[in-house]
Amino acid sequence: MPPALRARDLVKSYGRGRAARRVLDGASLEVQRGELVAVVGRSGSGKSTLLHLLGGLDWPEEGWVEVGGERMDARRADALRARRIGFVFQAFHLVPELTGLENVLLAARLPGNRNGIAQRGAELVEQLGLGQVSGALPHELSGGEQQRFAIARALASDPDVVLADEPTGNLDAASGEQVLGLLGALSGEGRGVVVVTHEPAVVERATRVVELRDGRIA
């Protein structure tokens, strides 16, 4: 069985001419199923850029990404992302006009997704203890509840990989600990989990820690 995620020699720059800055300069990473990998590095080192390339939200100038053994390319990026990748962001990114449950069920509307997503999404809401607030709008929810809905949405398509960008950054200590427990459980289910973080508590939970330095994984 192929690794959950492989990336090789990723290069990404921003700006043009003399103002151009190479953020990633040959970064490579391999994540096995069942691993929770924490990516650390100083502010501005390119951690979020790396995560966006791994998830096909942005494209490298050089290098490649494989998810579940499938090579990411522009023609099928949306379908691959829908089937194999779940995203969890610091800012939650819930649609404000939709209830928590409706936000989770958005995954079922994406083209290329697997059957049964709506049922799985509803089950996840219950499993994560959100059933009583499933009809609430995001502004009516606590930060921890919003993040749990975001995780349920990320898991509804049963992805191979979960990519999380500072997932506890907007949470209090108790909610953050709960979210960390959920992310750890995901890797225990055989998924690859990659968390960009500066939080010591996340690093302590990781099965492996890598540092992004000078554009490369150190």
| pLDDT attached to residue 131 | 93
Q: Residue 176 and residue 32: Cα distance in Å, rounded? A: 25
| pLDDT attached to residue 10 | 97
Could you tell me which residues are beta bridge partners of residue 66?
6, 71
The residue to which tokens 């959950």 are assigned? 4
Q: Residue 51 and residue 184: Cα distance in Å, rounded? A: 18
Q: Residue 147 and residue 90: Cα distance in Å, rounded? A: 8
Q: Residue 82 and residue 216: Cα distance in Å, rounded? A: 28
Distances 84 to 55, 72, 192, 211 between C-alpha atoms, Å: 9, 11, 11, 25
Residue pLDDT tens, the chain, 218 long:
889 999 999 999 988 777 778 899 999 999 999 999 999 998 888 999 999 999 999 999 999 999 999 999 888 788 888 888 999 988 888 999 999 999 998 876 665 555 678 888 898 899 888 999 999 999 999 999 999 999 999 888 888 999 999 888 888 888 888 888 888 888 888 899 999 998 898 899 999 999 999 899 98
Phi, psi of 195 (to 5 degrees): -120, 120
DSSP label at residue 20: -
CA-closest candidate to residue 161, choices 187, 184, 181, 180: 187
Structural domains in the chain, sorted by start: 34-58+78-217 (3.40.50.300)
| pLDDT attached to residue 110 | 64
Q: Residue 143 and residue 111: Cα distance in Å, rounded? A: 29
| pLDDT attached to residue 112 | 53
Q: What is the DSSP string of 110-122?
A: STTPPTTHHHHHH
User: C-alpha 101: how far from its chain's center?
Assistant: 19
